[in-house]
Amino acid sequence: MPAAVAGPEIERLIQLLARLPGLGPRSARRAALFLIKKRVALMAPLADALQNAMQKIAVCKVCGNIDTQNPCTICTDERRDASIIVVVADVSDLWALERAQAVNGRYHVLGGTLSPLDGVGPQDLSIDALVARAHEPSVQEVILALNATVDGQTTAHYITELLLDARVKVTRLAHGVPVGGELDYLDEGTLAAAIRQRTTL
Ligand code: ZN
């Protein structure tokens, strides 16, 4: 740890910024300095935005999405096709699919993928709630939009088995998703194509 070059308030800011994904200690210092120089135009609005988001953030009780309203914006949007549930591991995947405007259905966020090695079992994920939703009469298709990793595919198979008696079509993304690929890192075109060319399990 290098010696502090600024007061504790600034060092604290740098330490917190350094915890953000994609920011190491060096870029955290640069970001902190940038904020400090732009404290009226950027730092104050950012502090307000953080505070407001903190107070309003809620996890959607229907789908597990993160939003400032509950049920979330997507679950309450009447223009969404309620017959399709897109299953994702994480909110970042939901955001990636929305960026790609890949599908106009509703979502279900599992909160991770099954991972025996990391001790993540079915009880740690929002799987029971998904099975219950899949049994609703309005639901006709469940799209498993999970990462093309071992854990993602294990999870897809597990869910497919559970949905056998739900009388829904279960589909998965087409092979546009590279093996080991994480949805969040795919470009919008690839993601949209993978959804369009989805295959039935
Ligand atoms: Zn929702």
Tell me how far the alpha carbon of residue 173 lies from the centroid of ligand 1, in angstroms.
21
Model-level pTM?
0.80
Compare 39 and 188 and report the one with higher pLDDT. 39
CA distance 18 to 12: 10
Intra-chain end-to-end CA distance of the chain, in Å: 52
For 201, the token pair is 């399990």
Q: How confident is the model at residue 176 (pLDDT cuts 50, 70, 90)?
A: low
**Which ranges of the chain would DSSP assign to H, the alpha helix?**
8-17, 25-37, 44-56, 91-99, 127-134, 150-162, 188-196
Tell me how far the alpha carbon of residue 75 lies from the centroid of ligand 1, in angstroms.
4
Question: Domain extents for the chain?
Answer: 1-41, 66-172
Tell me how far the alpha carbon of residue 28 lies from the centroid of ligand 1, in angstroms.
33
Q: Over 90: is that where the pLDDT of 133 sits?
A: yes
Write the DSSP string, 88-124.
ESSHHHHHHHHHTT---EEEEE-SS--BGGGTB-GGG
Domain 66-172 matching CATH 3.40.1360.10: the answer reads: yes
- Contacts by 56-61 with C-beta closer than 8 Å and gap 24+? 60/109
DSSP state of 141: E
Phi, psi of 198 (to 5 degrees): -60, 150
C-alpha Rg value of the chain to the nearest Å: 20
Tell me how far the alpha carbon of residue 73 lies from the centroid of ligand 1, in angstroms.
7
pLDDT tens digit sequence for 135-152: 999 999 999 999 888 899
Q: Over 70: is that where the pLDDT of 175 sits?
A: no
Those residues whose beta carbon sits under 5 angstroms from the ion ligand 1 are 60, 62-63, 65, 71-72, 75
Domain 1-41 matching CATH 3.40.50.450: the answer reads: no
Tell me how far the alpha carbon of residue 108 lies from the centroid of ligand 1, in angstroms.
8
